[in-house]
Amino acid sequence: MPATHDARPIGVFDSGLGGLTAVRELFRVLPEESVLYFGDTARVPYGTKSKDTVTRFSLEIARFLVRQDIKCLLVACNTASSYALDTLSRRLDIPVVGVIEPAVRAAFAAGGGARGRGSARIGVIGTLATVGSESYPHAIHAIAPGAHVISRACPLFVPLIEEGWIGHPVLRAVAEEYLGDVRAAQLESLILGCTHYPLIAPLVAELMGPGVKLVDSGAEAARALATLLGERGQLAAGGPRHHFFLSDERLDFNRVARAFLGRELPPTTIVDQTDLPWFERSPDHAATGTAEPARGRAAAKEAP
């Protein structure tokens, strides 16, 4: 008989605090659910790291959360979704939802079908890793091969947002520089392909102009997860109990996390490193997504 409810918590992780923008939406759409959030504050940023490393970190965190008996996992990080979602989905026996597909579906919906999917014009901004992985163009072209996609890495956005320089002229100058080509591309929608970016959505919206619909990847993923849990009969009923885990203490955690979450924080624990083995090398390491980069390195070595 199918389940009718499931009181176990939802696991959510991000490289740091950006994923709290997805948690904020989870709290809104699923007020009965308990959330266990893991922010990898010791190893942020992921956006400049390799696929191999981000996949390994993601697996370590996923295993930690699975040990806390989560019922599903929300990968609230575009970089981890770009690099590690396939591996996580293959390796875990709970549902895993990433941010890329829900954001792409919302971007097509935001175009309103005015031009039809085949000629949609979609922009993507994100970390170096997310843009370099081409996860968004692949997902967009899988739906509409003729769609026009323009991607732009914005690596300075994350440190400026974490610093709290949301209204600062430096952020505006950086955004004007980054968004120059993107603004000229006559887009219908722009995917905020980093869970930090919703905090600067008003500035991005102002620079892009009223004709461009912004897509919040974390919020879209939260809504997709809500739909999935409903379909599976796995929604919770009763009082939610949230808990946050961080892999390192950061001095300004409360200030920054409140800005992301928009409310007071649940109880927070700094994870004991023995619970989260660092630089873990399992015998099945090749199955963590490292096989391809390893082949790439070997090929590079052989080249003249």
One residue of 15, 34, 133, 234 binding ligand DGL per CB under 6 A: 15
Stretch that binds ligand DGL, among 76-84, 137-145, 168-176, 238-246 (CB under 6 A): 76-84
10 contributes a contact to ligand DGL by CB under 6 A: no
Distance CA 280, CA 93 (A): 20
3-state helix/strand/coil string of the chain? CCCCCCCCCEEEEECCCCCHHHHHHHHHHCCCCCEEEEECCCCCCCCCCCHHHHHHHHHHHHHHHHHCCCCEEEECCHHHHHHHHHHHHHHCCCCEECCHHHHHHHHHHHCCCCCCHHHCEEEEEECHHHHHHCHHHHHHHHHCCCCEEEEEECCCHHHHHHCCCCCCHHHHHHHHHHCHHHHCCCCCEEEEECCCHHHHHHHHHHHHCCCCEEEEHHHHHHHHHHHHHHHCCCCCCCCCCCEEEECCCCCCHHHHHHHHHCCCCCCEEECCCCCCCCCCCCCCHHHHCCHHHHHHHHHHHHCC
34 scored as a contact of ligand DGL (CB under 6 A): no
- Does residue 78 belong to the site contacting ligand DGL (CB under 6 A)? yes
Cα 24 to chain centroid distance, Å, stands at: 13
Q: How far is the CB of 172 from ligand DGL (least distance, A)?
A: 20
Q: Number of residues in contact with ligand DGL, rule: CB under 6 A?
A: 17
Binding to ligand DGL (CB under 6 A) within 243-272 occurs at: none
Identified binder of ligand DGL from the candidate list 55, 79, 189, 247, rule CB under 6 A: 79
Contacting residue, 9, 11, 39, 45, with ligand DGL by CB under 6 A: 45
Whole-number minimum distance, CB 177 to ligand DGL, in Å? 19
In a 13 Å sphere around the CA of 183, the CA atoms on its Cβ side amount to 14
Q: How far is the CB of 46 from ligand DGL (least distance, A)?
A: 4
Residue (17 or 70) nearer to ligand DGL, CB: 17
Residue 135 contacts ligand DGL per CB under 6 A: no
* Catalytic residue status for 77: yes
| Interface map 167-206 toward ligand DGL (x if CB under 6 A) | ---------------------------xxx----------
* Rounded Cα–Cα distance for residues 220 and 275 (Å): 31
288 makes contact with ligand DGL (CB under 6 A): no
> x/- contact string, 211-250, with ligand DGL (CB under 6 A)?
----------------------------------------
Binding range to ligand DGL, per CB under 6 A, among 39-47, 64-72, 114-122, 200-208: 39-47
Q: Is 194 a catalytic residue?
A: yes
Residues recognised as catalytic: 77, 194
Q: Which residues bind ligand DGL (CB under 6 A)?
A: 14-16, 18, 44-47, 77-79, 127, 130, 158, 194-196
